Amino acid sequence: MNDPVKPPATPDADAPWPGPFVRYDLVKELVVALGAVIAVVVALAVLFSSPDEPPVTIQSWSRAAPADFLAIAVTELNRTSDVATYGPPYNEGTGSVQKIGPISLQEAAGVKVPIETARDYVLEPLHEVPGAPRLRAALDAYEAAPARLQEKWAANYEKALPEARFVAGVPVLPPGRYGPVEPMMASLLAMGQSGALDGALLAGGHRFYATDYTKPLLFVSAGEYFEKLAEHQHLLGTQWGMMNETGSFPGQVWLWLFSFWYQVEPFKSSPNADALIFVLMGVLSLAFICVPFIPGLNQLPRRLGVYRLIWRDHYREVET
């Protein structure tokens, strides 16, 4: 039922609408919208389902790519891995510390999720292996050795690893001065392939309940295997992965602007890209919230004129 009053050509946004009204049932609108959305959601769920790629476990990684597993494990032991040199919140390293100008919010926040890679990823899990006198002797020899010798053994092992063969699942390296690192790594690989290392890293050997996957995730994600899987699923940063989903499903497409900055200079090649983009997005988000109060921007819609399409019936009526 339409009101016979003609709408005003210059309505006052501060005053009540003096023009005609139309009947409108808000509750009916919500109920109809809810029914339509449920129907569309059910249809999409039936037709397309949803992705659920199984997670990578240390067991699946060490079975599928044992050399990759060992390459990471020995750098964790030698404290030269990405995690070992990362910096806050995991340790005091500087390898991944980012700055905004002279300020590092990362360092200011401090080490809150401490990880000591040699102890957490290698030594403590190996100490949990029951029996195994050869492993016990290797651990004793390693821990009794001076740090320089420990580093030398691990560095030699890392260097020779590309030439390793696997005989019945056991890594065999060319003859070299690896000290106790060789049997330690062989035991860690066996532990990884059995699934025991997944549990050891999650619960730390001292707890029953656990929900913090920081240690196993950082370990697994350091491997080339993990990255290759992500690349196959077009999830890398260079593939706009932030807004993608596994398979051909839509992901977090609303993060397109966030993802965009990583594709362009100066962010693309900046060692501080994450920090700079976070700050930039923070400023843009604040501007987005404050659009009504920013001179010029709050006048933009009138200049753009898209409103004439939205209210075309209204303008047709008042302008003729």
Partner 1 sequence: MWTTKVRERAVREMPPEKLLPDRQPSYVSSWIYVFGVVTIAAFVVVIASGVVLGMKGPEWWHLTGLGHFVNSMHLWAVEIFFFAMVVHLWGKFFMGAWRGGRGRTWVTGAVTFLVAIGAAFTGYVSQQNFDSQWIAFEAKDGLNAVGIGSFFNVANFGQMYTWHVILLPTVVVLLIVGHVLLVRRAGVVPPYAARLAKGADDE
Q: Please list every residue from 264 through 283 that binds partner 1, using CB under 8 A.
A: 272, 274-275, 277-279
Q: How far is CA 67 from the centre of its chain?
A: 25
Q: Select from 59, 194, 239, 246 the one that contacts partner 1 (CB under 8 A).
A: 246
Q: Return the number of the residue (26 or 147) whose C-beta is nearest partner 1.
A: 26
Task: Supply the angle between the helices 196-203 and 214-221 in degrees, to the nearest 10.
Answer: 130
Q: Is 304 one of the binding residues for partner 1 (CB under 8 A)?
A: yes
**Nearest distance in Å: CB 101, partner 1:** 13
Binding characters for partner 1, 47-76, by CB under 8 A (x = yes): -xxxxxxxxx--------------------
**Nearest distance in Å: CB 188, partner 1:** 21
User: Can you say whether residue 195 is alpha, beta or left, with left for phi > 0 and alpha for psi between -120 and 50 degrees?
Assistant: left
Helix (H, G, I), strand (E, B) or coil at 220: helix
Binding characters for partner 1, 83-122, by CB under 8 A (x = yes): -----xx------x-x-x----xx-xxxxxx---------
Binding characters for partner 1, 185-224, by CB under 8 A (x = yes): --------------------------xxxx--xx-xx---
* Binding positions for partner 1, 121-150, rule CB under 8 A: none
* Binding positions for partner 1, 7-46, rule CB under 8 A: 7, 9-17, 19-27, 29-30, 33-34, 36-38, 40-42, 44-46
Candidates 131-139, 148-156, 170-178, 242-250; binding stretch for partner 1 (CB under 8 A): 242-250
User: Judging by beta carbons within 10 Å of its beta carbon (0-12, 13-18, 19+), is residue 57 exposed, middle or buried?
Assistant: middle
**Nearest distance in Å: CB 287, partner 1:** 10
In degrees, rounded to 5, the angle at the alpha carbon of residue 158 between the alpha carbons of residues 157 and 159 is 90
Q: Is 166 one of the binding residues for partner 1 (CB under 8 A)?
A: no
Helix (H, G, I), strand (E, B) or coil at 198: helix
Closest CA to 110 of 91, 84, 86, 82: 91
DSSP 114: -
CA trace torsion 130, 58, 156, 77 (10° rounding)? -70
